[in-house]
Protein backbone atom coordinates (compact mmCIF):
# COMPACT_ATOMS: atom_id res chain seq x y z
CA UNK A 1 0.00 0.00 0.00
CA UNK A 2 1.28 3.45 -0.97
CA UNK A 3 1.13 6.64 1.09
CA UNK A 4 -1.04 8.24 -1.59
CA UNK A 5 -3.51 5.35 -1.45
CA UNK A 6 -3.83 5.62 2.31
CA UNK A 7 -4.33 9.36 2.06
CA UNK A 8 -7.07 8.78 -0.46
CA UNK A 9 -8.78 6.32 1.85
CA UNK A 10 -8.69 8.98 4.55
CA UNK A 11 -10.11 11.67 2.29
CA UNK A 12 -13.06 9.42 1.54
CA UNK A 13 -13.65 9.60 5.30
CA UNK A 14 -13.36 13.37 5.20
CA UNK A 15 -10.01 13.90 6.90
CA UNK A 16 -6.44 14.40 5.81
CA UNK A 17 -3.36 12.49 6.93
CA UNK A 18 0.19 13.66 7.29
CA UNK A 19 2.89 11.54 5.64
CA UNK A 20 3.84 10.18 9.06
CA UNK A 21 0.26 9.25 9.86
CA UNK A 22 -0.10 7.54 6.49
CA UNK A 23 3.14 5.65 7.06
CA UNK A 24 1.95 4.49 10.48
CA UNK A 25 -1.21 3.17 8.92
CA UNK A 26 0.76 1.24 6.35
CA UNK A 27 2.68 -0.40 9.21
CA UNK A 28 -0.55 -1.08 11.04
CA UNK A 29 -1.98 -2.74 7.96
CA UNK A 30 0.95 -5.17 8.00
CA UNK A 31 0.07 -6.33 11.51
CA UNK A 32 -3.57 -6.33 10.54
CA UNK A 33 -2.83 -8.59 7.58
CA UNK A 34 -1.10 -11.10 9.82
CA UNK A 35 -4.05 -11.08 12.19
CA UNK A 36 -6.32 -11.64 9.21
CA UNK A 37 -4.37 -14.74 8.40
CA UNK A 38 -5.58 -16.05 11.76
CA UNK A 39 -9.18 -15.50 10.68
CA UNK A 40 -8.54 -17.16 7.34
CA UNK A 41 -7.66 -20.36 9.19
CA UNK A 42 -11.20 -20.66 10.52
CA UNK A 43 -13.68 -22.58 8.43
CA UNK A 44 -16.79 -20.42 8.23
CA UNK A 45 -18.49 -22.32 5.45
CA UNK A 46 -22.28 -22.18 5.97
CA UNK A 47 -21.93 -19.95 9.04
CA UNK A 48 -24.23 -16.92 9.09
CA UNK A 49 -22.85 -13.55 10.02
CA UNK A 50 -23.60 -12.54 13.59
CA UNK A 51 -24.86 -8.96 13.41
CA UNK A 52 -26.26 -8.74 16.95
CA UNK A 53 -25.16 -10.32 20.22
CA UNK A 54 -28.30 -12.44 20.31
CA UNK A 55 -30.46 -13.84 17.55
CA UNK A 56 -33.53 -12.09 18.83
CA UNK A 57 -36.44 -10.74 16.93
CA UNK A 58 -38.39 -7.87 18.33
CA UNK A 59 -41.96 -6.93 17.67
CA UNK A 60 -41.78 -3.49 19.23
CA UNK A 61 -42.51 -0.57 16.96
CA UNK A 62 -42.96 3.01 18.06
CA UNK A 63 -46.48 4.47 18.01
CA UNK A 64 -46.79 7.28 15.51
CA UNK A 65 -47.35 9.96 18.13
CA UNK A 66 -45.18 13.04 18.47
CA UNK A 67 -43.44 12.54 21.79
CA UNK A 68 -40.38 14.70 21.73
CA UNK A 69 -39.38 17.84 19.89
CA UNK A 70 -36.51 20.27 20.35
CA UNK A 71 -37.00 24.02 20.30
CA UNK A 72 -35.27 25.87 17.49
CA UNK A 73 -32.98 27.37 20.13
CA UNK A 74 -31.87 23.94 21.26
CA UNK A 75 -31.40 22.79 17.67
CA UNK A 76 -29.09 25.72 16.97
CA UNK A 77 -27.37 25.85 20.37
CA UNK A 78 -24.34 23.85 19.24
CA UNK A 79 -24.24 25.17 15.66
CA UNK A 80 -21.20 27.25 14.72
CA UNK A 81 -23.07 29.52 12.29
CA UNK A 82 -26.78 30.19 11.93
CA UNK A 83 -29.02 32.51 9.94
CA UNK A 84 -32.78 32.99 10.25
CA UNK A 85 -33.28 29.73 12.07
CA UNK A 86 -31.12 27.77 9.64
CA UNK A 87 -27.78 26.04 9.99
CA UNK A 88 -25.27 27.74 7.69
CA UNK A 89 -22.37 26.12 5.90
CA UNK A 90 -20.25 27.55 3.10
CA UNK A 91 -21.66 26.80 -0.31
CA UNK A 92 -21.88 23.14 -1.10
CA UNK A 93 -19.71 22.41 -4.13
CA UNK A 94 -21.09 19.07 -5.21
In the window 9-48, what residues touch another protein (CB under 8 A)?
A: 9-18, 20-21, 24-25, 28-29, 31-32, 34-36, 38-42, 44, 47-48
Task: Give me the torsion for CA of 19, 24, 27, 29, rounded to 10°.
Answer: -100
Task: Give me the torsion for CA of 13, 15, 19, 21, rounded to 10°.
Answer: -80
Q: How many CA atoms, within 13 angstroms, populate the side-chain half-sphere of residue 49? A: 1
Q: Which is nearer to another protein, 2 or 64 (CB)?
A: 64
Q: Which is nearer to another protein, 2 or 68 (CB)?
A: 68
- Sites for another protein among residues 61-90 (CB under 8 A): 61-72, 74-81, 83-90
Amino acid sequence: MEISEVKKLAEMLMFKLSDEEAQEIIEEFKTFDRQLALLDKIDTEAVDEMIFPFDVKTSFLRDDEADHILSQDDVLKNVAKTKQGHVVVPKVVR
